[in-house]
Amino acid sequence: MRVIIFFFFLLITTTSFAVTFEGRFIQGSFILGKTNPGSKVFIDKKQVKVTSEGFFVFGLSRDRKNDVVITINKKKIVKKVYKRKYNIQRIDGLEEKKVTPPEEVYERIKRENKWIGQARAINSDLTFFTKKFITPVENAIISGVYGSQRILNGKSKWPHYGLDFAADEGTNIKAMLNGIVTLAEPDLFYTGGTLIFDHGHGISTLYMHMKKILVKEGQQIKQGDIIGTVGSTGRATGAHLDVRLNWFQTRLDPATVLDIK
């Protein structure tokens, strides 16, 4: 009898603890988790939504050093986060006012950053993030990667958080995933023609330097739809698409969701 009770107990504890992860525990990674529907899930101290099928999602920052603690129904799972090496990228010949913006555009930059931050803060119930992403530009050359330390006109700047696809101006851009357009701006100071999509649970993608934008805010877009064309608007040295992947305000590596490398 005692043995049976013990096995019953084991069954309960193991089933309530069932969880799988898709994605590697490396800096910059997008990680899709699956557990029992109705579970309470925390990533570090932050509670995250769980879909009716049990999916949840989170990401690891570029410089994440600590282990990540995933708490599911009060049980803790501790995962080590592996470090990456980032390269140094020098870009010269940029217009000086785009490297060190003049004071008269500070207000504009602040305002635009606020719009982007607001779009990234959306915590909707959409579940599009559970599906596989596709590459946004076919036959493009990867000309910039996530994490690189940037030196612009000899000045050390923010790391590069995007994945750059060099392509001819006017090349079609496809939506990487189903989503809802949360920002569509033709001419932001840094990012030029800019689109942001919400994919649910804080996962957003951002497309920048676009020449044409073919979608509107609030519109629901299907994966593979043509959303605009490649350009060199904003701070860009040549025609390319720079895509970003975010988990709320944490910038993730788009290559961790695309079949690249």
Binding mask 186-225 for Zn ion (x = CB under 5 A): ----------------------------------------
For the chain, list the strands marked E by DSSP: 19-22, 30-35, 41-43, 46-48, 55-59, 68-72, 75-79, 88-91, 141-144, 149-152, 155-156, 163-166, 172-174, 179-188, 192-200, 203-213, 220-221, 226-230, 240-247, 250-252
Residues 99-128 that bind Zn ion (CB under 5 A): none
- Least Å distance between CB 144 and Zn ion? 5
Smallest separation, CB 236 to Zn ion (Å) = 8
Handedness of CA 174, 175, 176, 177 (dihedral sign): negative
Torsion of CA 104, 105, 107, 109, to 10 degrees: -170
With contacts defined by CB under 5 A, how many residues of the chain interact with Zn ion?
4
The residue range among 86-94, 120-128, 239-247, 253-261 that interacts with Zn ion, by the rule CB under 5 A, is 239-247
The residues facing 41 across adjacent strands are 48, 72
Give 182 or 191: the residue with its C-beta nearer to Zn ion: 191
Residue 190 contacts residue 234 (beta carbons within 8 Å): yes
Q: Is 144 in the site for Zn ion (CB under 5 A)?
A: yes
- Binding residue (CB under 5 A) for Zn ion from 54, 133, 164, 252: 164
What is the number of the residue whose Cβ is closest to Zn ion? Answer: 242
Return the number of other C-beta atoms located less than 10 Å from residue 14's C-beta. Answer: 9
Binding part of the chain for Zn ion, among 33-41, 137-145, 176-184, 218-226 by CB under 5 A, reads 137-145
Q: How far is the CB of 208 from Zn ion (least distance, A)?
A: 7
State the nearest-atom distance from the C-beta of 220 to Zn ion, in Å: 27
CA distance 252 to 22: 15
Pick the closer one to Zn ion by CB: 34 or 251. 251
Q: Of the two residues 146 and 197, which places its CB atom closer to Zn ion in the complex?
A: 146
253 binds Zn ion (CB under 5 A): no
The pair of three-digit structure tokens given for residue 71, joined into one six-digit string: 């708490």
Smallest gap from residue 242 Cβ to Zn ion (A): 3
Closer residue to Zn ion, CB minimum distance, 64 or 235: 235
For residue 6, which phi and psi values (nearest 5 degrees)?
A: -60, -45
**What is the smallest separation between the CB atom of 45 and Zn ion, expressed in angstroms?**
32
Give dist(CA 188, CA 95) in Å, integer: 16
- Does 162 engage in binding with Zn ion (CB under 5 A)? yes
Tokens of 250: 């944490």
What is the binding site for Zn ion (CB under 5 A)? Answer: 144, 162, 164, 242
